[in-house]
Amino acid sequence: MNKKSKSAAIKRSGFGDEFVWGVSTSALQTEGASHADGKGPSIWDEFAKGKKNILNNDSPEIACDFYTKYKEDIALVKMLGIPNFRFSLSWSRILPDGIGTINKKGIEFYHKVIDTCIESGIEPWITLYHWDLPETLQQKGGWTNREIINWFEHYVEVCIKEFKSKVKNWMVLNEPMVFTGAGYFLGVHAPGKKGIGSFLSAMHHAVLCQAIGLRTIKKMQPDAIVGTTYSCSFITPQSDSERDKQAAKRIDALLNRSFIEPSLGLGYPMETLPFLKKVEKYIKPGDEELMRAEFDFIGIQNYTREVVAYNFFIPFLKAKLIPADKRKVFHTQMDWEVYPEAIYQMVKKFSKYKGVKKIFITENGASFPDEIIDGIITDTARENFLKSYLEQVLKAKQEELKIKGYFVWSLTDNFEWAEGYHQRFGLIHIDFNTQQRTIKKSGYWYKDFLAG
């Protein structure tokens, strides 16, 4: 009861006029048209061919067909009154082989998307890399090959040259911890590589690319506003025991600190997480400087918290995450605990870094099994999720932490990586058979909230 009346009170005006509101998507998860108009394959197109890599053998081939439906979708962003739209560019749509020949049709597509946003009064926020590496580059080792710093720099140059007159806000990478951890350590995301060597080399090269991307943008477009985005989870130990507390610190170092700290000149958090010392093998003279970056902002993406226990059998980490369903706590369909305070704690944590100037929540949202009844989707759980997390964002804002904006993940249901189409995060429902869009109750709630 108390919680409900508190939720009802949350208002846009409480965040002030300058606060940035938006919604996020990514290329691979929405565009489809995997092979259309000269696009080259990405590692996710390739990964989806492998049996059992993706739930129900789903593929990103069609996804939300944003490639042909972008006008309709941007019209929905406008109709919902969302002033900022974060999306990503597909590297292999622009450079089918990752380097070399530019695909004019790919460039044209993004010009049309950007123009449609601008004509609709919507500010584009572009992520340069949201996990869909060109497959040709993966054939050469992908993120494990140090050459990627040249490939990436070239890709960024092509994008900035093309779009700098229209786009002000850039994000270099999306969640480097996740694409290197899940893709090169656990093998559960594309390109499905496993092992400490591939992870640490991918990690170091991603850290270098973060900084190189930023510098390239600033050099070519000095008035650009540049950041990068980090996944983060509020980490708590399962008990008060020293072993659990130390285990929680190691997970925190890995999940929350290992990408931002080297960029801020603080180095990899090796004292807390000794196995990170092995990354030294990939560090070349001069890298410490090369890794440093001065971002105008960082994006943080928070969904949940993790509870951690000491575990002798887990290599390198000696720590394990206790799944939410085992803990019998309220969780989303991803088995991510609904824990609103996590977002506040994360804003607080990242605000403490001296080198961080501004923070935007560039993703927050929830997957719940939606039901369409007579054409209506009453996704009250998602609406409550958003409200309860926003209350915590407001608390952070009131405490004058560095929080400056918030983007919901996601505009539409989409291809949720290894979970395929099973997990739905959208404010807008998609019928993947007909491509019909239906605004969910949470979408109307966000509209009303934004309208004040």
**Minimum CB distance to ligand FCB, residue 396 (Å):** 20
Q: Which of 389, 425, 432, 445 binds ligand FCB (CB under 6 A)?
A: 425
**Minimum CB distance to ligand FCB, residue 8 (Å):** 27
- Helices and strands counted in the chain (H then E): 17, 13
The number of beta carbons lying within 10 Å of the beta carbon of residue 248 is 21
When asked if residue 363 is in the footprint of ligand FCB (CB under 6 A), the reply is yes
Q: Please indicate whether residue 153 is annotated as part of the active site.
A: no
What whole-number distance in Å separates Cα of residue 102 and Cα of residue 90? Answer: 12
The number of beta carbons lying within 10 Å of the beta carbon of residue 387 is 21
Asked if 151 contacts 97 with a C-beta cutoff of 8 angstroms, the reply is no
Binding pattern for the stretch 231-250 against ligand FCB, x by CB under 6 A and - elsewhere: x-------------------
Catalytic residue among 162, 175, 383, 416: 175
What whole-number distance in Å separates Cα of residue 99 and Cα of residue 447? Answer: 41
When asked if residue 270 is in the footprint of ligand FCB (CB under 6 A), the reply is no
The number of beta carbons lying within 10 Å of the beta carbon of residue 5 is 8
When asked if residue 417 is in the footprint of ligand FCB (CB under 6 A), the reply is yes
At 179 the three-state DSSP class reads: helix
| Pairing relationship of beta strands 84-88 and 123-129 according to DSSP bridges | parallel
Q: Please indicate whether residue 31 is annotated as part of the active site.
A: no
When asked if residue 199 is in the footprint of ligand FCB (CB under 6 A), the reply is no
* Token pair of 37 as six digits: 């108009």
What whole-number distance in Å separates Cα of residue 292 and Cα of residue 266? Answer: 9
Binding pattern for the stretch 143-182 against ligand FCB, x by CB under 6 A and - elsewhere: -------------------------------xx--x----
Q: Smaller CB distance to ligand FCB: residue 30 or 103?
A: 30
Q: Smaller CB distance to ligand FCB: residue 22 or 237?
A: 22
Strand partners, 123: 84
Binding pattern for the stretch 279-318 against ligand FCB, x by CB under 6 A and - elsewhere: ----------------------x-----------------
Beta strands in 327-426 (DSSP E): 359-363, 372-373, 376-377, 403-409
Catalytic residue among 31, 261, 337, 363: 363
Q: Which of 26, 90, 256, 332 binds ligand FCB (CB under 6 A)?
A: 26
What whole-number distance in Å separates Cα of residue 409 and Cα of residue 438? Answer: 16
Residues carrying an active site annotation:
175, 363
Query: What is the contact surface with ligand FCB in residues (CB under 6 A)?
Result: 26, 29, 174-175, 178, 231, 301, 363, 409, 416-417, 425
